Amino acid sequence: MLYAILLALCFGILEGVTEWLPVSSTGHIILLRHFLPLTLDDDFFELFEVVIQLGAMCAVGVLFFHTLWPFSKNKDATKRRATWALWGKILVATLPAAFFGLLFDDLIDRVLFNPLTVAVSLIAYGVLFLVIERRRALPRIHRVEDITYTDALRIGAFQVLSLIPGTSRSGATILGGLLLGISRPVSALFSFFLGLPTMAGAGTLKVAKFLFSGAHLSRTEWLILAVGTLTAFLLSLFALRFLTDFVRRHTFSSFGIYRILLGAAVLLTFIL
C-alpha cells in the first residue's frame, strides 16, 4: 500500500506540473512508468490518470475564478457580458477536439498510444516551437478579450492535434495561438481556460466508461485517487503561476529544446 501511495504522489506531481506546460504529460508518464513499475490494475490506472487531470483542472478554476465567474459582485453589466463572451469562445474552441475525440478516442488509444508515437510528437513539436519563435511576426492580440470567435475556433482546430499522444494539449493550443498572432501570455491564458471544458468532457467520458463496466473501488483505491488528485491540484497552482509569469519575459524556445530532449529519452527507452 505504501508503494501505491508513493506512485500516487509521483504521478500527481507529474500531472500537476506537466499538464499546463507545453511538454506533454503523456511523455513524462511513459518515462515514469518505465522507472516506477506499476502495481495498480490497468483499468484502475486509466481512471486514475483521468481523475488526477480533473484535480489539475480545478486549479484553473481557483486561480482564475474572478476572470471566469460571470456573477462576481465586482463586475458590472459590461464585464459580465465580456465574461459570457469569453465562455462562448472557450466552448467554440472545444468543439473540434470534442467531435474528433468522440469519434476516434478508442482508435487513438489502441493504435497511437505507444512510446514511438509519443517520442516523434515530442520532437516534432519541439522543433516547431523553435522555428515559430524565431520567425513569427509581432503579435496582433494582447488581451484575451480581443480573441475573436474565429480565432477561438482555429485554436480549437489546433487542439485536435493533441489527440495524438505526445503532442501536449497546452502545446498544441499555444502553438496555434502563436501562429494566429496572439501574444505568448494570452496564448497561454486561453490554453488554460480551454483546458476546463476539454478535460471535464474527456474525464467524464472515461469515468462513465469505468463505472458502466461494473467495476468497484476499494478503500485503498479511493485513497490513491485522493492523494493523486490533491497532489495534482496543488502542483498545478504552482505550474500555472510559473508559466503565467515566465511567458511575460521569455519565449517558448526552452520548452522546445526540452521537448526534443524528452522525446529522445522516450525513444531511447522504447528502443531499450
The mean per-residue pLDDT over the stretch 193-200 comes to 88
Cross-strand pairs, 141:
182
Residue 33: pLDDT over 90: no
Q: H-helix or E-strand containing 31?
A: helix 25-35
The mean per-residue pLDDT over the stretch 114-133 comes to 92
End-to-end CA distance of the chain, in Å?
30
The mean per-residue pLDDT over the stretch 30-43 comes to 77
- Transcribe 173-242 into DSSP letters: HHHHHHHTTB-HHHHHHHHHHHHHHHHHHHHHHHHHHHHHTT----HHHHHHHHHHHHHHHHHHHHHHHH
- Between vectors from CA 152 to CA 149 and to CA 155, what angle results, nearest 5°? 155
pLDDT category of residue 199 using cuts at 50, 70 and 90: confident
Percentage of the chain lying above the pLDDT 90 cut: 58
Separation of alpha carbons 80 and 74, rounded Å: 10
Give me Rg for the CA atoms of the chain. Answer: 18
Cα separation values, 98 from 22, 94, 189, Å? 20, 6, 20
Residue pair 7/40 in contact (Cβ under 8 Å)? The answer is yes
Instruction: State the burial class of residue 42 (Cβ atoms within 10 Å of its Cβ: 0-12, 13-18, 19+).
Output: exposed
Q: What's residue 39's pLDDT?
A: 76
Considering the chain, what is the average pLDDT of its residues? 89
Q: H-helix or E-strand containing 43?
A: helix 42-63
Separation of alpha carbons 242 and 168, rounded Å: 18
Residue pair 27/266 in contact (Cβ under 8 Å)? The answer is yes
- Picking from 263, 243, 246, 233, the residue whose alpha carbon sits closest to that of residue 20 is 243
User: Three cell numbers at 45?
Assistant: 490506472
- pTM, whole model, 2 decimals? 0.89
pLDDT category of residue 23 using cuts at 50, 70 and 90: very high
pLDDT category of residue 36 using cuts at 50, 70 and 90: confident
The full set of domain ranges for the chain reads 2-271
Residue pair 171/20 in contact (Cβ under 8 Å)? The answer is no
- Compute the half-sphere exposure of residue 229: CA atoms within 13 Å on the CB side of its CA: 16
Separation of alpha carbons 115 and 94, rounded Å: 27
